[in-house]
Amino acid sequence: MTDLLPRIKELLTWAGGGPAAFADAIGLPRPVMSHILSGRNKPSLEVVQKILAGFPEVQANWLLLGQGEMLKSLDSSSLTQAPSALSHEAAAFSGAGNEKGESAKSIKGEEPAEDALKSGSPTLHKKVKQVLFIYEDGTFDSFQSNE
């Protein structure tokens, strides 16, 4: 079986944001990510599952076996938009909004939740899996869905 570490590093580079943001995005403790990247520990099944859940566009066969392409869909729009996924999530949770009370999503020009409800946006069918609050002092709280 091939080693997962090079593919995890490739995915980390593709996602952008660095190891801490990657670990936060998939709900993995930062030290665990650090130990995997340093080669101290091998990624567990739980880590692989969290990566695949956090990045559903990643092919499981590619991550596990090194077979096929990294992404399920290789159209140019997904390749150019996906690396900002971590920075977008970090922006969404870095604060409730700016000084004017605007949410991070409305600053980025995306539909606020109320507009999404009216427009029938496909995001309405998404279920929240995890919410992560990152505080200024470097601590964080993570809340997981029971579903």
Q: What is the pLDDT of residue 79?
A: 45
Cα separation, 132 vs 20, in Å, equals 13
Residue given tokens 């566009």 in the structure block:
57
Per-residue pLDDT of the chain (147 residues; tens, 9 = 90+): 468 999 999 999 999 889 999 999 999 999 999 999 999 999 999 999 999 999 999 999 999 999 999 998 654 444 444 444 454 444 443 333 433 343 333 333 444 444 444 544 444 567 778 888 888 888 888 888 776
Q: What is the pLDDT of residue 106?
A: 36
Cα separation, 120 vs 48, in Å, equals 33
Question: Hey, what's the torsion of the CAs at 68, 74, 79, 84, to 10 degrees?
Answer: -70
Q: What is the pLDDT of residue 86?
A: 53
Tell me the CB-side half-sphere exposure of residue 21, using CA atoms within 13 A: 20
Q: Which of 50, 45, 5 is nearest to 25 (CA)?
A: 50
Q: What is the pLDDT of residue 51?
A: 94
pTM for the model: 0.51
